[in-house]
Amino acid sequence: MRAAQQGHGASYMELLRTITPRIRQLIRRQRGFAGIAEVEDLVQDVLLSLHTVRATYDPARPFVPWLLAIVRNRLVDGARRYARIARREIYVDEEDVTFFEPATNDDNGELEDAAALHAAVRALPEGQREAIELLKLKELSLREAAEVSGTSVGALKVATHRAMATLRRTLGKRRE
């Protein structure tokens, strides 16, 4: 390592080749459940970290405790990363592709929903119904819809938001 700190690439390569199998063995022992790819990721992480902080090695002190401290730290960080990913991501095994699944192409269901939607829109209060008709059915812009209805853009946004919430509630109840 002392030679490596002086910039001798060959010594450094020899050092890394010597310690890599030991690092790998250590990681396998600590992370028995990890696959080959995960172990290699961790080994490379340790090597990169070691390379980054090689200036922190004091030639007057033993090398192994210095190396082990880095390995332990990277293992702990790796475990935290793994836990974070496991908490946020869901592994999806085999999910049906939407368009090939018969249930997604059920015309009856679509018609029934459309009728329910019309009924729900009709049942909305006047202002909310007008907002939905202008913005969602006639697909006018907010400014155009404001001119047609004679209200402000802000009021239209609020009415649309409330109408959508009401529709979601009404159609949700129907489905239940």
Nearer to other proteins, 85 or 97 (CB): 85
Nearest distance from C-beta of residue 35 to other proteins, angstroms: 15
Question: In this chain, which of 26, 27, 67, 156 binds other proteins, going by CB under 8 A?
Answer: 67
Classify 139 in phi/psi space as left (phi over 0), alpha (psi -120 to 50) or beta: left
Residue type, 31: R
If binding is defined by CB under 8 A, does position 145 make contact with other proteins?
no
Contact status: 113 vs other proteins (CB under 8 A): no
Rounded to the nearest 10°, the torsion over CA 59, 60, 61, 67 is 0
Nearer to other proteins, 7 or 150 (CB): 7
Do residues 78 and 45 lie in contact, with contact meaning Cβ atoms separated by under 8 Å? Answer: yes
Per CB under 8 A, contacts with other proteins among 6-35 are 6-10, 12-13, 16-17, 20
* d(C-alpha 152, C-alpha 32), whole Å: 64
Question: Among 22, 28, 32, 73, which residue interacts with other proteins (rule: CB under 8 A)?
Answer: 73
Nearer to other proteins, 68 or 83 (CB): 68
Cα(first)–Cα(last) distance of the chain, in Å? 69
Residue 95 is classified by DSSP as -
Q: Rounded CA gap, 168 and 176, in Å?
A: 12
Summarize as ranges the residues that interact with other proteins (CB under 8 A).
4-10, 12-13, 16-17, 20, 40, 43-44, 47-49, 51-59, 61-62, 65-70, 73, 77
